[in-house]
Amino acid sequence: MCMNVGLGEQMPKGAIGFPEIEENPKVSNKQDRQPIYLPSVCPENELYYPGDHKTDWICDCRPGYLYHPATDKCWLAYQRGPCSEGQYLVLPKSSVLPICEINPCISDDTVMYNGNCTTLGDMRPCGLSYPAKVVWINATTIKVDCVKVYVDNRFSSKIEEELFALCPPGCKRSVNLQCTPDVRR
């Protein structure tokens, strides 16, 4: 499904966007608008996120991606990104800026999970469950974890609610100190 969007003054006329299924069910705004994949407006690895006002939209990192100010880009956490060979990008505890650390696994698509090098997207370490889980970057903690795969279909039941951050660590707004508190709680 695609949609023709006219969401702001900086929007090119007739821009085509693709709605994204929000990975965090509690992340919504007052009008329950969802993020949009809008490649004509937002740089690579960013989505167009709605604010709390009708014309308030901003490009920011996709869930699980970290904003790296030196390159002004968003990179998937625990991947090489802007780092030197043999390193990957991580977000240290109690920091808003990501750093490069040595990757204990040989390949860029493998991460350390439960003491083993595991391929991102692998289901085996997570066991059998419904909804299915894969080894991926938890968008709330920015840590490697077994993350639910949300597949929106006609057989889906209401997704169980979890606690999620409205301004995830490592996103542009977090790095630039532009997070606003959730006034709905």
CA separation for the pair 74, 23 (Å, rounded)? 17
CA separation for the pair 180, 52 (Å, rounded)? 10
Look at residue 182 in the predicted model and tell me its pLDDT: 47
What's the pLDDT tens digit per position in 154-168?
444 444 433 344 567
- Please, how many CA atoms are within 13 Å of residue 26, restricted to the half-sphere of its CB? 15
pLDDT of 9 above 70: no
pLDDT of 185 above 50: no
Element (H, E) at 76: strand 73-76
pLDDT band at 109 (very low <50, low <70, confident <90, very high): confident
* More confident: 145 or 12: 145
Strand partners, 146: 135
CA separation for the pair 12, 149 (Å, rounded)? 33
Give the DSSP letter string of 84-120.
PTTEEEE--TT-SS-EEEE-SSSSTTEEEETTEEEET
Torsion region of 127: left, alpha or beta (phi above 0 gives left; psi -120 to 50 gives alpha): left
What's the pLDDT tens digit per position in 23-51?
555 555 545 567 888 888 899 999 888 87
65 CB neighbour count, 10 Å cutoff: 28
- Mean of pLDDT over the chain: 78
Strand partners, 134: 147
The pTM assigned to this predicted structure is: 0.71
For tokens 């707004």, name the residue. 173
Coil, strand or helix at 59: strand
